[in-house]
A and B are shown apart, each in its own frame.
Chain A
Amino acid sequence: MSVTDLLRRTELFSGLTPEQAERIAVLGKEVVYNAGDVIIREGDPSDEVYIICSGMVEVEVSRDTIHDVPGPPQFSSLVRLGQGQVFGEMALMDRGVRSATVRCADDDTTVYVIPQQAFWDLCDGDHHIGYIVMRNIAFDLSFKLRHRNLQVRLAGDTP
């Protein structure tokens, strides 16, 4: 399966024609990470968005950033993301710094990395592609929020 075919099976590319998907796919490149590698770090500037082609990553936030806890960083794991999932999209949307650290969980995890500016340039230059992709990102963010809400609700049910 080509990278474009694989990317077309991700929600980010849902609703795009093969030609439109290809226009986004050519902007990026595949990068392979191993377990423990930090792909993005909380607080860092952001200039790329990522799609998981295979493998697994873990999204973490440092508790000391919020509570100013002394000593080595303490991380809380928010979610694990697998094949087909997007990360780095919050900073793509708001251009802020990274809101979380994303660490590779499995060896040979392959992610597709798309530079933010090239992505924005394409969306600004073709509003139809831009509309579809932004709608897909909104769906993805909503899904992640629903996942988080359910996590909190079920945690509250645990004795």
Chain B
Amino acid sequence: MIYKVSYVIVDRPHPGEIVNLETPPRVGDRVQLGGEQFEVIEVVDLIPPRGEFAYLHVTCQPVEQDM
């Protein structure tokens, strides 16, 4: 399965990212987007899977938020 992931950032102006991944992100993961560290706070299926693709929406917040 290939995971097409839409990352959207809360609490900070950031364009987000769209990228294909081989493993799905999970809540609590730390991800680096554009040189900054973020924490995954939500993962949802954006649309139903099609063929070998799954489509995920991932909401992230800056890591500093929980320090």
Could you say which of A84, A150, A155, A158 contacts B19, with CB atoms under 8 Å apart?
A: A84
- What is the bound-complex CA distance between A9 and B13, given in angstroms? 31
Digit string of A78-101 for contact with B (CB within 8 Å is 1, else 0)? Answer: 111111110000000000000000
The smallest beta-carbon distance between A80 and chain B, in angstroms, is: 4
A105 to B47, CA, bound (A): 28
Convert B25-50 into 0s and 1s, putting 1 for each residue whose CB lies closer than 8 angstroms to a CB of A.
00000000110000000000011001
Question: Among the listed B13, B18, B33, B51, which residue makes an inter-chain contact with A81, where contact means beta carbons less than 8 Å apart?
Answer: B18
Could you tell me if B15 and A77 are in contact, using CB atoms closer than 8 angstroms? yes
Say whether A85 contacts B15, CB under 8 Å.
no
Q: Chain B contact residues: over half helix, strand or loop, or mixed?
A: strand
B side interface size, CB within 8 A: 25
Nearest to A14 among chain B residues (CB) is: B51
> Which residues in B have their C-beta under 8 angstroms from that of A81?
17-19
Interface-facing stretch out of A19-27, A122-130, A141-149? A141-149
A36 proximal to B (CB < 8 A): no
A151-B8, A158-B11 known; A80 vs B57 contact (CB < 8 Å): no
Q: Which residues of B contact A78 (CB under 8 A)?
A: 15
Determine the distance from Cα of A11 to Cα of B47 in the docked complex, in whole angstroms. 14
Q: Say yes or no: is A15 at the interface (Cβ < 8 Å to chain B).
A: yes
**In the bound complex, do residue A14 and residue B19 qualify as a contact, i.e. CB atoms below 8 Å apart?**
no
Say yes or no: A84-B2 contact (C-beta < 8 A), given A11-B53, A151-B8, A151-B16.
Answer: yes
The 10 closest A-B pairs by CB, nearest first: A84-B20, A82-B19, A77-B15, A147-B6, A80-B17, A79-B15, A150-B8, A14-B51, A154-B10, A151-B8
Task: Please report A residues at the B interface, Cβ cutoff 8 Å.
Answer: 9-11, 14-15, 56, 58-59, 77-85, 105, 139, 142-144, 146-147, 150-151, 154-155, 157-158
Can you list 21 A-B pairs with a CB-CB distance of less than 8 A? A9-B2, A10-B20, A14-B51, A14-B52, A79-B17, A80-B16, A80-B17, A81-B18, A84-B2, A84-B4, A85-B20, A139-B50, A143-B47, A146-B6, A147-B18, A150-B8, A150-B57, A151-B8, A154-B9, A154-B10, A155-B13
